[in-house]
């Protein structure tokens, strides 16, 4: 089984409830949900971007699909969206980029997501880029 | 001549005569009255961001789906939104400030305009290379380029009609605001408060670009265009003349020359009063100890006669700013009951965390209340003096340079930045995108060098402590009482302009990239994940009997780059502003306009 080859960090994030930034009442996703709830469009978007990062090689259709499926098992879609946005915007230009760079809560989200994605990449034989 | 052609001539000739009689006025205000159009960035002269369209309602909004998308080919922050006039959409991009005329019928590009600008303007833009959109009047499209060039294009062909430069990027002067068309004039401002720029507003002739008046925010009375005896301000609980040298007296020596007070926000216009309203930004530098005094008229609401530029009244919200709380946010004109009495009001959600309701005729201060309870730098606004009562421990001036003042709310981003709120005349309420962010602020001594940042402060931002943990809220506000009606928490700050409609739906976008529809109680009806974070403003229009909702997505860090860049291009497209293949007629990579409609039954 693929899951058994996942690194400990990813296993942990699958087993443990996800830390939410906003209390559950404010959000639609219940705490710790392992809903595997990514919409198809969210998965396709991830795969296209991931393929792009790897020069569009066709083998990455399969490898990147594997990665997003792993991430979807680790995180509810809402959390994935917020955490991946936190990581992406670490380099946002200007004063307002500080919102992403300074805030500990956002930096935490970014580093947690980075870790989950790295684990999934490793499990799916996708080199880190 | 046949009877028919004579009749045509008759109608045509009458139109010509009518045209000549009202030659002074542009058609913009008239076009905004047809809800099928979206003819100004804010929808109308009053900055309402409201639409009478009601095909999309709180009942059916959950069915909204993607109708079409359009990519601008530019990978930077996308603010503002499209204009729609008749069967054509006009869309802009961030630097290099491309303009597209798009046929609504098949989304083909009618024409495209791309100005040549010196890229050295990019590093002197403090806050990304944004542009807040185009303006339209009398068959012309107006673009305010980053390098301060104001250009008029033929709306049919995209050909340049005239160009005029309103600033000098070598001095740190840039432009990000939309041009505003009021009556027969195009009004524009200047950015660069972080570079010691001296803020001003200029009025131009629509047909030639000629400068008709230029009114500075700081300096001698004649350059401010004020009348010491007739320009009024709130003083000891009533309106009183501002007196001579009202600005000069509040600066040390020549500091007013680098005084800031830039004008990059959303202006409005009341045709009955022939008055234009706008706000001015922070005084330079951010180190308050270097500029003792009230630093007038930075951080000020200005009401000026449109024809002469003469200031009718002024109100300074944050005298002697110590936190970068620019006063440029949108000025919304609304006829509402304030404390039970009908008023011609001006409502302004300031960066400093207070929502102001003014009498826009007289300039009287009516309401000033916090629109986020965490605001702590001032206890309240004293209604007699009109001054905020600053809390000593949050005063970066009292604490002084090289001291880190901690826990100031809001942060320098303000409780709200430029992202414009919406006013619904149907509910009488304001729907406001906000920041829920605090900061530590440490000013330091800085010398002025032309064209170099003149900031003089380091700061660190974080989500408001002891709250819901998120960095934003979307709120409904009653400006007549100064009370919040509801507040919907968001994980990130809300940096997208709102839209409310007669269909009882309110729209806004989030930094995760969701476009959200909520009902009049703030209940989420629908959301859709667009390819990138949304800092653009939501827009609506009707074409061939169908209502559409459109919003630009795209912030610096790029989501969906794979989609946007196309899979054939390799990674070279990442971050390269100009490095894309021109696909002539259809989509390009980059920031995306996503357009939604209800599905066919």
Q: Is residue A43 part of a domain?
A: yes
Residue among B225, B253, B417 at smallest CA distance from B329: B417
Question: Out of A12-16, B161-165, B463-467, which region has the weakest mean confidence (pLDDT)?
Answer: A12-16
Express the helix, strand and coil content of chain B in percent, nearest 5 each: 10, 35, 50
Helix (H), strand (E) at residue B169: none
Q: Is residue A28 part of a domain?
A: no
**Residue range B511-562, pLDDT digits in tens:** 999 999 999 999 999 999 998 889 999 999 999 999 999 999 988 544 334 3
Q: Which domain range does residue A97 map to?
A: 37-123
List chain A residues with CB under 8 Å of B413: 95-96, 99
Mean pLDDT for the stretch of residues B384-407: 95
Question: Out of A6-20, A46-60, B92-106, B184-198, which region has the weakest mean confidence (pLDDT)?
Answer: A6-20
Whether residue A102 and residue B462 make contact (CB cut-off 8 A), yes or no, is: yes
Confirm or reject contact between B471 and chain A (CB < 8 A): yes
Under 8 Å CB pairs connecting chains A and B tally to: 125
Interfacial B residues in 363-422 facing A (CB < 8 Å): 412-413, 417
Helix (H), strand (E) at residue B20: helix B3-21
**Nearest CB to A23: which of B125, B469, B493?**
B469
List chain B residues with CB under 8 Å of A82: 491-492, 512
Whether residue A102 and residue B559 make contact (CB cut-off 8 A), yes or no, is: no
pLDDT of residue A34: 62
Interfacial B residues in 261-290 facing A (CB < 8 Å): none
> Can you say whether residue B47 is alpha, beta or left, with left for phi > 0 and alpha for psi between -120 and 50 degrees?
left
* pLDDT at position B387 over 70: yes
pLDDT of residue B417: 94
Higher pLDDT, A29 or B36: B36
Measured from the Cβ of residue B445, the count of other Cβ atoms closer than 10 Å reads 11
Interfacial B residues in 512-541 facing A (CB < 8 Å): 512-514, 524, 529, 531, 533
* pLDDT at position B216 over 90: yes
Strand partners, B515: B509, B528
pLDDT of residue B190: 97
Q: Checking DSSP bridges between strand B388-390 and strand B429-435, what pairing results, if any?
A: unpaired
Q: Residue A20: phi, psi to the nearest 5? A: -95, 145
pLDDT of residue A30: 46
**Nearest CB to A81: which of B77, B495, B512?**
B512
Mean pLDDT for the stretch of residues B41-70: 98
Q: How many domains does chain A have?
A: 1
Local confidence band at A94 (pLDDT 50, 70, 90 cut-offs):
low
Mean pLDDT for the stretch of residues B42-62: 98
Q: What is the DSSP string of B298-362?
A: SSEEEEEETTT--EEEEEESSSS-SS-----S--EEEEEEETTEEEEEEEEE-TTSEEEEEETTT
A4 vs chain B: nearest CA distance in angstroms? 30
Residue among B340, B359, B348 at smallest CA distance from B234: B359
**Residue range B277-317, pLDDT digits in tens:** 999 999 988 789 999 999 999 999 999 999 999 999 999 99
Mean pLDDT for the stretch of residues A20-45: 65
Whether residue A49 and residue B561 make contact (CB cut-off 8 A), yes or no, is: yes
Q: Is residue A81 part of a domain?
A: yes
Confirm or reject contact between B494 and chain A (CB < 8 A): no
**Residue range B451-462, pLDDT digits in tens:** 777 777 788 899
* pLDDT at position B82 over 80: yes
Q: Of the ranges B17-31, B448-462, B584-598, which is most confident?
A: B448-462
pLDDT of residue A100: 87
Confirm or reject contact between B571 and chain A (CB < 8 A): yes
Whether residue B489 and residue A22 make contact (CB cut-off 8 A), yes or no, is: yes
Confirm or reject contact between A61 and chain B (CB < 8 A): no
**A16, B350, B396, B442 from B460: Cα distances, Å:** 31, 21, 14, 9
Q: Is residue A93 part of a domain?
A: yes
List chain A residues with CB under 8 Å of B469: 20-23, 105
Q: Please tell me which residue of chain B has the smallest CA distance to A94.
A: B127
List chain B residues with CB under 8 Å of A103: 437, 461-463, 471
Confirm or reject contact between B193 and chain A (CB < 8 A): no
Whether residue B555 and residue A56 make contact (CB cut-off 8 A), yes or no, is: no
User: In chain B, what percentage of residues exceed pLDDT 70?
Assistant: 90
Q: Checking DSSP bridges between strand B232-235 and strand B457-463, what pairing results, if any?
A: unpaired
B181 vs chain A: nearest CA distance in angstroms? 29
Confirm or reject contact between A105 and chain B (CB < 8 A): yes
- SS3 for chain A is CHHHHCCHHHHHHHHCCCCCCCCHHHCCCCCCCCCCCCCHHHHHHHHHHHHHHCCCCCHHHHHHHHHHHHHHHHCCHHHHHHHHHHHHHHHCCCHHHHHHHCCHHHHHHHHHHHHHHHHHHHHCCCCCC
Identify whether B364 is preceded by a cis peptide bond (ω within 30 of 0).
Answer: no
CB-based contact B246:B311 (threshold 8 Å): no
Confirm or reject contact between A40 and chain B (CB < 8 A): no
pLDDT of residue B284: 84
List chain B residues with CB under 8 Å of A91: 556-557
Q: Is residue A115 part of a domain?
A: yes
Residue among B538, B500, B537, B540 at smallest CA distance from B520: B500
Local confidence band at A3 (pLDDT 50, 70, 90 cut-offs):
very low
Q: Please tell me which residue of chain A has the smallest CA distance to B565.
A: A52
Mean pLDDT of chain B: 90
**Distance (Å, rounded) from C-alpha B194 to C-alpha B4?**
63
For chain B, domain boundaries: 25-597
**Nearest CB to B512: which of A23, A51, A85?**
A85
CB-based contact B577:B591 (threshold 8 Å): no
A49 vs chain B: nearest CA distance in angstroms? 4
Local confidence band at B74 (pLDDT 50, 70, 90 cut-offs):
confident
Confirm or reject contact between B451 and chain A (CB < 8 A): no
* pLDDT at position B20 over 70: no
List chain B residues with CB under 8 Å of A52: 561-562, 565, 567, 569, 571
Confirm or reject contact between B489 and chain A (CB < 8 A): yes
Q: Which residues of B are catalytic?
A: 324
Three-class SS of residue B255?
Answer: helix
CATH class of B25-597: mainly beta
Three-class SS of residue B126?
Answer: strand
Whether residue B557 and residue A88 make contact (CB cut-off 8 A), yes or no, is: yes
Whether residue B489 and residue A84 make contact (CB cut-off 8 A), yes or no, is: no
* pLDDT at position A54 over 80: yes
Quote the pTM value.
0.89
Q: Please tell me which residue of chain B has the smallest CA distance to A47.
A: B562
Three-class SS of residue B4?
Answer: helix
Angle at B379 between CA B376 and CA B380, to 5 degrees: 120
Whether residue B560 and residue A105 make contact (CB cut-off 8 A), yes or no, is: no
CB-based contact B144:B130 (threshold 8 Å): no
Strand partners, B358: B346, B365
Alpha carbon A24 to its chain centroid, in Å, reads 19
Confirm or reject contact between B40 and chain A (CB < 8 A): no
**B279-308: buried (b, 16+ CB within 10 Å) or exposed (e) per residue?**
bbbbbbbbbbbbbebbbbbbbbbbbbebee
Local confidence band at B200 (pLDDT 50, 70, 90 cut-offs):
very high
Whether residue A96 and residue B489 make contact (CB cut-off 8 A), yes or no, is: no
pLDDT of residue B556: 56
Q: Please tell me which residue of chain B has the smallest CA distance to A99.
A: B461
What length does chain B have? 601
Local confidence band at A52 (pLDDT 50, 70, 90 cut-offs):
confident
Whether residue A92 and residue B555 make contact (CB cut-off 8 A), yes or no, is: yes
List chain A residues with CB under 8 Å of B461: 98-99, 102-103
**Residue range B100-125, pLDDT digits in tens:** 999 999 999 999 999 999 888 887 87
CB-based contact B592:B530 (threshold 8 Å): yes
Q: Is residue A49 part of a domain?
A: yes
Burial of B572 (0-12, 13-18, 19+ CB in 10 A): exposed
Interfacial A residues in 4-33 facing B (CB < 8 Å): 20-23, 26, 28
Q: Is residue A85 part of a domain?
A: yes
User: In chain B, what percentage of residues exceed pLDDT 90?
Assistant: 79
Higher pLDDT, B546 or A16: B546
Q: Of the ranges A34-48, B28-42, B117-131, which is most confident?
A: B28-42
Q: Residue B268: phi, psi to the nearest 5? A: -140, 170
* pLDDT at position B232 over 90: yes
List chain B residues with CB under 8 Å of A80: none
Strand partners, B85: B88
pLDDT of residue A8: 36
**Residue range B342-373, pLDDT digits in tens:** 999 999 999 999 999 999 999 999 999 999 99
Contacts of A40 (CB under 8 A, 6+ apart): none
Mutate to test the interface with A, among B417, B488, B567, B568 (most CBs of A within 10 A): B567
pLDDT of residue B590: 67
Name the CA radius of gyration of chain B, rounded. Answer: 23
Confirm or reject contact between B592 and chain A (CB < 8 A): no
CB-based contact B262:B199 (threshold 8 Å): yes
Confirm or reject contact between A52 and chain B (CB < 8 A): yes
């Amino acid at each position: 089984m693929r899951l058994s080859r996942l690194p400990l960090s990813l296993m942990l994030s699958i087993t443990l409830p996800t830390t939410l930034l906003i209390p559950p009442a404010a959000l639609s996703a219940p705490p710790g949900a392992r809903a595997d709830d990514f919409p198809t469009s969210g998965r396709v978007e991830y795969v296209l971007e991931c393929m792009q990062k790897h020069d569009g090689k066709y083998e990455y259709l399969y490898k990147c699909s594997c990665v997003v499926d792993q991430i979807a098992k680790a995180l509810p879609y809402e959390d994935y969206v917020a955490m991946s946005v936190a990581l992406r915007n670490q380099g946002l230009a200007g004063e307002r980029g500080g919102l992403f760079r300074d805030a500990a809560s956002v930096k935490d989200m970014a580093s947690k997501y980075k870790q989950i994605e790295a684990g999934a990449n490793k499990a799916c034989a996708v080199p880190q880029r | 001549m046949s009877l028919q052609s004579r009749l045509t001539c008759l109608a045509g000739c009458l139109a010509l005569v009518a045209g000549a009689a009202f030659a002074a006025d542009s058609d913009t205000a008239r076009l905004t009255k047809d809800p099928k159009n979206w003819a100004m960035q804010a929808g109308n002269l009053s900055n309402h961001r409201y639409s009478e369209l009601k095909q999309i309602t709180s009942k059916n909004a959950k069915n909204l789906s993607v109708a079409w998308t359009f990519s601008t080919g530019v990978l930077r922050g996308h603010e503002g939104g499209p204009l729609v006039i008749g069967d054509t959409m006009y869309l802009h991009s961030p630097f290099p400030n491309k303009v597209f005329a798009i046929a609504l019928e098949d989304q083909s590009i009618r024409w495209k305009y791309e100005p040549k600008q010196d890229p050295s303007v990019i590093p002197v833009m403090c806050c990304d290379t944004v542009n807040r959109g185009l303006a339209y009047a009398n068959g012309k499209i107006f673009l305010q380029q980053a390098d301060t060039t104001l250009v008029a294009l033929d709306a049919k062909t995209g050909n340049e009609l005239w160009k005029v430069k309103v600033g000098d990027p070598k001095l740190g002067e840039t432009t990000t605001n939309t041009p505003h068309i009021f009556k027969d004039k195009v009004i524009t401002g200047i950015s660069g408060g972080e570079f010691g720029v001296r803020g001003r507003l200029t009025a131009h002739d629509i047909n030639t670009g000629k400068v008709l008046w230029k009114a500075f925010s700081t300096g001698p009375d004649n350059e401010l265009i004020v009348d010491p005896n007739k320009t009024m301000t709130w003083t000891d609980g009533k309106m009183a003349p501002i007196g001579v040298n009202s600005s000069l007296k509040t600066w040390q020596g020549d500091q007013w020359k680098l005084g800031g007070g830039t004008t990059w926000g959303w202006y409005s216009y009341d045709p009955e009063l022939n008055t234009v309203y706008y706000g001015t930004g922070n005084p330079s530098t951010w180190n308050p100890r270097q500029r003792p005094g009230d630093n007038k008229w930075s951080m000020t609401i200005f009401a000026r006669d449109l024809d002469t530029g003469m200031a009718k009244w002024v109100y300074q919200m944050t005298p002697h700013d110590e936190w970068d709380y620019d006063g440029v946010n949108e000025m919304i004109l609304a006829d509402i009951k304030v404390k039970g009495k009908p008023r011609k009001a001006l409502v302004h959600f300031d960066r400093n965390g207070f929502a102001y309701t003014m009498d826009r005729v007289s300039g009287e201060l009516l309401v000033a209340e916090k629109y986020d309870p965490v605001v702590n730098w001032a206890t309240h606004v004293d209604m007699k003096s009109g001054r905020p009562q600053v809390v000593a421990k949050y005063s970066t001036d009292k604490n002084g340079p090289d001291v880190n003042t901690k826990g100031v709310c809001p942060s320098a981003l303000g409780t709200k930045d430029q992202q414009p709120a919406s006013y619904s005349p149907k509910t009488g309420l304001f729907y406001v995108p906000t920041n829920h962010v605090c900061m530590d602020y440490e000013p330091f001594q800085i010398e002025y060098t032309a064209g170099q940042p003149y900031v003089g402060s380091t700061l660190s931002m974080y989500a408001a402590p002891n709250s819901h943990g998120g960095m934003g809220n979307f709120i409904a506000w009653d400006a007549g009482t100064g009370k919040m009606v509801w507040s919907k928490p968001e994980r990130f700050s809300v940096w997208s302009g709102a839209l409310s409609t007669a269909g009882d739906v309110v729209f806004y976008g989030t930094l995760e990239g969701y476009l959200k529809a909520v009902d009049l109680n703030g209940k989420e009806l629908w959301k859709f994940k667009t390819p990138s974070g949304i800092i653009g403003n939501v827009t609506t229009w009707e074409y061939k009997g169908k209502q559409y909702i459109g919003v630009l997505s795209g912030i610096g860090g790029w989501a969906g780059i794979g989609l946007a860049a196309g899979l054939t291009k390799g990674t070279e497209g990442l971050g390269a502003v100009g490095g894309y293949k021109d696909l002539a007629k259809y989509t390009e990579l980059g920031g995306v306009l996503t357009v939604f409609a209800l599905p066919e039954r």
